Structure 1
Amino acid sequence: MLARPRFRAAIVRLGSLTIGVALLLAAAITSAAAATSPAPTAGPDSERSGVRIEAAAAGETAEAASARVAQMSTRERASSVVMGHVPTTDAGALRAYMQTAGIGGFILMGANIPGSEAELRGVTAALTIDPALPPLIAIDQEGGDVSRLPWDEFPSSLELKSAAPETAAAAFAGRGALVDRAGIGVNFGVVADFTDDPGSFIYRRSLGTNAADSSARVGAAVTGEAPFAASTLKHFPGHGAAPGDSHAGIPSTGMPLEQWRASEALPFAAGIDAGAPALMFGHLAYTAVDAAPATLSPEWHRIAREDLGFTGLAVTDDLGMLQSSGIPAYQDPVANAVTAIAAGNDMVLAVVLSTPDTAPRMVEGIVAAIENGALPAQRLQEAATRVTELRLNVGAESGRFVPCPACAPAQ
């Protein structure tokens, strides 16, 4: 089952923020509508404009996911746990890619973003072969330095890291609304890493410079975004303590586990407690816990599940980054994918260095690993079930908060 039902009322209690967050959510949603195109409107099965209505209880969705996965072949299960990418805005090419690959997800990068929100909705529609079980279409929409949507003018981490948690909630409510309006279900946008070092590559992207402030803003960001997109916390277990950039190496630290629990862990715990349904594992090593990067570490997955109580979707950071590290052990993307699933990830992500055949090759590798016993069939079934549950949730909630061409722009 997912960590918590993702789709819930916009007013969510986070400490003492209930009323303030609710008011700021309303203001942020209005701003999102005004900043892009005509005002959004609710679908016909909603009670009122701008409010999402849960389509099914979480238990029913979990049962439906389990039933679907039980009927899948090994290859279908393997396909469902791969998130791929091809760099184009051509709707025909994107649709052909998804039809051929049959994979469970697609990540939108800059090369997939056309000039307008309306055109982007055409892109996401092309990626969706079966609306009842849509792929997990994801985006890195943090705002600021990492922003795929040029029309996102909500405050970024550089502003939010010194602002009240309510401001973070409002910013991510608006950001989530933009993601939702574009037909995107998952936002890899909530950075739970923190550091007080301006020289760190993650400094400009983090929501705070210490554990306490970061925790409050991360929890608030998840709360704000929850009605609109599946928030993803990243990069577990935390880049701030590990010097270096994981795009070009494996940052590492000797920080003991108990020190991690009292520091780097806290923003992730806050995001999990706020209901974040996805957790992205980073290519970084806490050598006192495991010499392997967290992405490939069964122990870090155990800690996330057992110590922090996370029950949602575990997804890797881009596996192409492991190849970019230059470390010989990580040069085979297929082997990386199999190891990542075996370690406890539910979905593997391929972007950098990937080609149109990378995701299909990962699928073949996962199937082969099941057949030769290198990957337990139960582990793949568990992963496919978590992916499918989130896909069903996204499918049930899609199209409820979209622009209304006949409506007047918000004032």
Structure 2
Amino acid sequence: MVDRLARSVLLPGFAGTTAPDWLLREVADGLGGVVLFGRNVTDDEQVAALTARLRGERDGVVVGIDEEGGDVTRLDAATGSRVPGPLALGAVGDPALTRRVAGQLAARLAACGVTVNLAPSADLTLHADDPIIGVRSFGSDPRAVAGQVAAFVRGTQGEGVAACAKHFPGHGASTTDSHFALPALPREDAELRAAELVPFAAAVEAGVRAVMPGHLVVPSWGELPATLNPRAITGVLRGELGFTGTVITDALEMAAVAGSLGDVDGLAQAAVAALVAGADALCVGGETADAAVVARLVDAIGEAVKAGTLPEERLAEASARVAALGAAPAPVSEVDPALGLAAARRAVRVRGEARLAAAPVVVDVEVPPTMAAGPVPWGLGSHLAELVPGTAVVRVAGGDEPAVEPGRQVVLVTRDAHRHADVAALVTRLAADREVVHVETGVPGPELGAVATIDTHGGSYVSLRAAAELLAASAD
């Protein structure tokens, strides 16, 4: 009985685009569900077949996915997202549009058999050096972000897919990536209540069915990260904000809680501690998850129950909350393929005069993607080359000097240039001796000497396309 309860709170990842035999056996034996990543996706039809195969072993299996739109996409990992991300939607500032975009994403997810979308990010953008949230946030103003988060939740859940607000109590003030180390938020209680907690309160009021704590420490709440902290989960999230749904952990193999990335013993300890703190569903997202990892976690949870560290009633409560996310949604709405690009166009902002005198050279400046986004296709060059014949395209890494003939106009495309000193220096250097239009696809930063700066507020396929259309329309 305890082993089945322990298995029922686990949501592992796996490798491949079909369910491996070990996973099918675990699902049949009561595994709570799975989390899908880009590595598991070919197209929507394949995902639908995959989830149907899982349900062939057991009805009620939870299928989660990180489909935030914009830079973090799983369904469109091979091409780039067909909808703009949160920062772009926040720049538009139209909650009705955000609700429609979230509904479109959820309609696709429902048709694919996904039961919970691990979105939206309810974090604020509060620090220029934040390495992991950035364009995943709707912005920096707590009230405006609260409206966007509530709209995303309602749009998602209107299609029968559970939404999950993350990363409680808010990651945006941190300058540490919790995939690799444990961040401590430099925030006092009063600051959190006036800022970071406002979007989470709005999500709860909107009826969000799941919340994901962040692997981060609030010093005034104690030394434990929120994922493992009873004060964060039971005290503030449930007690103060009144949340009654399912608490889903972020990936527990992350170094912030496991000790080092992928440490199985640290993972098992974190799993038990999260359940004790009040978490319900345990995400084990690593590609190395397999039957042995699941067995280790089931044993660790069972041993904690036997030792009295984890009350069996707490484990049963967690199991019931996970099961509540397992109903397969029926698609409600048709997907409008034009909505995403239309929304992305509304998010583009121009500082200066963006005009092409002739076919330019596009320099796409590549920097490593965040762990959350992964290697999704990015770049403006292919779009503008299609729209403006004669456009040349150059790709460089970081601040490497591009080979561009003297005097030719340059469209320089970056992602968070302000976070990469070599990239910012490259923009300034090129703009000093030629006409440069700077296209920033990350969080807008300072102007760096270009004749114009175009802010797309994200690097999705549609956001890049919208910027290319704007430039093409300006060509002489």
TM-score (norm 2): 0.65
Cα offset, 1:95, TM superposition: 5.3
Q: SS in structure 1 opposite 2:260?
A: coil
Cα offset, 1:102, TM superposition: 3.3
Answer 1 or 2: higher relative contact order, Cα 8 Å, separation at least 6.
Answer: 1
Letter in 1 for 2:11: M
CA distance in 2: counterparts of 1:327 and 1:104, whole angstroms: 23
Cα offset, 1:335, TM superposition: 1.0
Aligned to 1:177: 107
CA distance in 2: counterparts of 1:355 and 1:91, whole angstroms: 13
CA distance in 1: counterparts of 2:15 and 2:245, whole angstroms: 28
Q: 2:184 aligns with which of 248, 252, 273?
A: 252
1:242 aligns with 2:168: no
1:333 aligns with 2:267: yes
Aligned partners of 1:157 and 1:205 also within 8 Å: yes
Q: 1:155 aligns with which of 63, 72, 84?
A: 84
Aligned partners of 1:98 and 1:127 also within 8 Å: no
CA distance in 2: counterparts of 1:233 and 1:291, whole angstroms: 23
Q: SS in structure 1 opposite 2:324?
A: helix
CA distance in 2: counterparts of 1:382 and 1:346, whole angstroms: 8
CA distance in 2: counterparts of 1:189 and 1:149, whole angstroms: 14
Cα offset, 1:354, TM superposition: 3.7
Letter in 2 for 1:220: A
1:304 aligns with 2:237: yes
Letter in 1 for 2:138: L
Cα offset, 1:305, TM superposition: 0.3
Runs of 4+ in 1 over 4 A off after TM superposition: 327-331, 400-404
Q: 1:290 aligns with which of 222, 225, 244?
A: 222
1:86 aligns with 2:14: yes
> For the pair shown, which has the larger CA radius of gyration, 1 or 2?
2
CA distance in 1: counterparts of 2:230 and 2:264, whole angstroms: 17
Aligned to 1:351: 285
Letter in 2 for 1:165: P
Over residues 152-193 of structure 1, what are the superposed CA-to-partner deviations in whole Å (9 max), with x where a residue is unaligned? 412212311212111211110111111111110100020000
Aligned partners of 2:168 and 2:213 also within 8 Å: yes
Over residues 265-285 of structure 1, what are the superposed CA-to-partner deviations in whole Å (9 max), with x where a residue is unaligned? 000010111011000011011
Letter in 2 for 1:188: L
TM-score (norm 1): 0.75
Letter in 1 for 2:238: R
Q: For residues 113 and 328 of structure 1, do their structure 2 counterparts lie closer, same or farther at Cα, with a shift above 3 Å needed?
A: closer
Q: SS in structure 1 opposite 2:69?
A: coil
Q: For residues 267 and 178 of structure 1, do their structure 2 counterparts lie closer, same or farther at Cα, with a shift above 3 Å needed?
A: same
Letter in 2 for 1:349: C
Aligned partners of 1:98 and 1:129 also within 8 Å: no
Q: SS in structure 2 opposite 1:316?
A: coil
Matches within 5 A, 1:188-337: 188-200=118-130, 201-228=132-159, 229-301=161-233, 302-322=235-255, 326=260, 332-337=266-271
Cα offset, 1:402, TM superposition: 8.8
Over residues 305-336 of structure 1, what are the superposed CA-to-partner deviations in whole Å (9 max), with x where a residue is unaligned? 01000000001100011367539999521111
1:386 aligns with 2:321: yes
- Which 10-residue stretch deviates more, 83-92 or 188-197? 83-92
Superposed CA RMSD in Å reads 2.6
CA distance in 1: counterparts of 2:148 and 2:5, whole angstroms: 36
Over residues 15-73 of structure 1, what are the superposed CA-to-partner deviations in whole Å (9 max), with x where a residue is unaligned? xxxxxxxxxxxxxxxxxxxxxxxxxxxxxxxxxxxxxxxxxxxxxxxxxxxxxxxxxx2
* Structure 1 spans left out of the alignment, 5+ residues: 1-72
Q: For residues 402 and 361 of structure 1, do their structure 2 counterparts lie closer, same or farther at Cα, with a shift above 3 Å needed?
A: farther
Aligned to 2:463: none
CA distance in 2: counterparts of 1:329 and 1:307, whole angstroms: 34
* Structure 2 spans left out of the alignment, 5+ residues: 340-476
Aligned partners of 2:142 and 2:198 also within 8 Å: yes
Q: 1:122 aligns with which of 49, 63, 71?
A: 49
Cα offset, 1:215, TM superposition: 0.6
Letter in 2 for 1:320: E
Q: For residues 176 and 330 of structure 1, do their structure 2 counterparts lie closer, same or farther at Cα, with a shift above 3 Å needed?
A: same
Aligned partners of 2:8 and 2:322 also within 8 Å: yes
1:368 aligns with 2:368: no
Q: SS in structure 2 opposite 1:147?
A: coil
Cα offset, 1:198, TM superposition: 4.1
